């Protein structure tokens, strides 16, 4: 096992730390973060870690020998969704603090993660300036690639990963990148072909994070989501995600993720279409006395069909189709109207007879689902160590932390390829 001292800057909830651990490293981390809730979660999950305060106050002379520096510096000024202030923005300039610490600590490896918009910020001048700063450190070889979380988990999240390393092992060392959609180190020619392809696989079972399609008529059961497309809507079926950010936008499209989530944001403006629970209550003779639909299951009993107990089923599309009526085009559907408050519970009836398919609900992704979409264990963000007192973390903060995090599975793939550097 490779043992390393890591300086984890802008550490969030420890995605870099956990990614390297999963790749087989023993990580001794010194972490820097200013968000008190993220600090609390990091302390709770990595109890042997050492908190070193704000990046502006960290000095290399106060640390032991550092082998690895990781940082996903604040990206709002580079983001395609932001004001695009680039390196002139107050938050993005914090990357210079990370570069200062690389110069002071001279780690064997550093890894930087940031948004795709960094490539195009100020017509590419910002990324060129960042590369110049890294090159000015001297003694490091640089590699970078745009990686997508969807190659590993069901979330479309494109991020730049840049690696700098100070030594090159001999033998058949091929470098860190490119990494292909399978997560394996690709042959450059094969990788170029992959980059030209518009299709993208999800290499993990998507039902772990989002409900999967159940078949049996699922193609005939849908919800129309208003969108700035030629049709004026996008179609969401069971297991698809729906993004309800910027509800008043006249130009927003791409609201529906087909079997995967879109990029997680700090406020989690994403929902998923799921079936309700069908319950049949029976009397002592097994006769059905009540039927109901619920968003959550009732009490699970050791036996069904007996007096007072309830048989419970997931409401599959075929069951719903048999109860509803068809529209003129032969399908059953609802139209989702995103109102001014951004709520998604306004359903507009579209059938002339006003008999609509109402056995489905649109619900927000849960914090656990967001954790899974970023590769964290369930409830990674549920508790925090606040100055020695372990307390629950609010859902608002849990969503924010997941949206700000790096994807653990992507970090693991990068960490696997760095092993020859640390073994050299």
**Catalytic residue numbers, as ranges:** 75
* Paired tokens of 82: 């932001």
H or E segment to which residue 265 belongs:
none
- Residues whose CB is less than 8 angstroms from the CB of residue 344 and which lie 6 or more positions away in sequence, other chains included: 242, 244, 271, 336, 338, 362
Q: Judge contact between 370 and 395, C-beta under 8 A.
A: no
**Environment class of 201 (CB within 10 Å of its CB; exposed 0-12, middle 13-18, buried 19+):** exposed
**Pairing between β-strand 25-32 and β-strand 50-51 as defined by DSSP bridges:** parallel
Phi, psi for residue 109 in degrees, rounded to 5: -140, 145
C-alpha distance from residue 318 to each of 213, 214, 279, 322, 372 (Å): 12, 9, 16, 6, 29
CA 154, 155, 158, 161 dihedral sign is negative
**Which residues partner with 2 through β-bridges?**
25
DSSP 78: T
CA distance 72 to 133: 16
DSSP 179: B
CA distance 299 to 23: 40
CA distance 119 to 121: 6
Longest dimension (CA), the chain: 82
SS3 43: helix
Cis ω before 33 (30° cut-off from 0)? no
- Residues whose CB is less than 8 angstroms from the CB of residue 219 and which lie 6 or more positions away in sequence, other chains included: 237
* Paired tokens of 251: 């130009």
């Amino acid at each position: 096992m490779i043992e390393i001292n890591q300086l984890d800057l802008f550490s969030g909830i420890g995605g870099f730390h956990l990614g390297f651990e999963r790749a087989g490293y023993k990580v001794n981390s010194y972490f820097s973060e200013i968000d008190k809730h993220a600090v609390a979660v990091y302390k709770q999950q990595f109890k042997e870690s050492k908190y070193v305060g704000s990046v502006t106050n960290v000095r290399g002379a106060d640390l032991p020998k550092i082998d690895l520096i990781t940082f996903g510096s604040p990206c709002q000024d580079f983001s395609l969704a932001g004001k695009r202030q680039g390196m002139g923005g107050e938050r993005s300039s914090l990357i210079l603090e990370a570069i200062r610490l690389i110069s002071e600590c001279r780690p064997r490896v550093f890894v930087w993660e940031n948004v795709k918009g960094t490539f195009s910020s100020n017509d590419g001048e910002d990324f060129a300036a960042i590369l110049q700063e890294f090159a000015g450190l001297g003694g490091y070889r640089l590699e970078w690639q745009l990686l997508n979380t969807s190659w590993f988990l069901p979330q479309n999240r494109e991020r730049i990963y840049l690696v700098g390393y100070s030594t090159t092992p001999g033998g058949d060392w091929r470098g860190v990148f490119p990494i292909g959609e399978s997560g394996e180190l690709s042959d450059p020619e094969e990788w170029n072909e992959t980059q030209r392809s518009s299709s993208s696989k999800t290499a993990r079972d998507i039902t772990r994070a989002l409900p999967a399609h159940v078949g049996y008529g699922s193609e005939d059961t849908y919800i129309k989501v208003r969108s700035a497309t030629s049709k004026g809507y996008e179609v969401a079926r069971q297991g698809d995600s729906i993004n309800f950010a910027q509800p008043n936008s006249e130009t927003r499209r791409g609201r529906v993720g087909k079997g995967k989530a879109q990029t997680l944001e700090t406020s989690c403006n994403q929902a998923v279409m799921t079936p309700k629970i069908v319950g049949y209550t029976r009397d002592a003779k097994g006769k059905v006395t009540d039927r109901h639909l619920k968003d959550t299951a009732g009490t699970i009993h050791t036996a069904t069909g007996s007096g007072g107990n309830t048989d419970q089923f997931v409401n599959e599309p075929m069951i719903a189709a048999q109860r509803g009526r068809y529209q003129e085009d032969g399908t059953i559907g609802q139209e989702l109207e995103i109102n001014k408050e951004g709520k998604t519970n306004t359903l507009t009836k579209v059938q002339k007879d006003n008999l609509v398919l109402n056995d489905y609900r649109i619900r927000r992704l849960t914090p656990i689902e967001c954790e899974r979409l970023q590769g964290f264990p369930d409830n990674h963000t549920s508790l925090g160590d606040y100055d020695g007192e372990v307390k629950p973390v609010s859902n608002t903060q849990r969503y924010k932390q997941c949206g700000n995090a790096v994807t653990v599975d992507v970090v693991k793939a990068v960490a696997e390829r760095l092993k020859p550097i640390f073994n050299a």
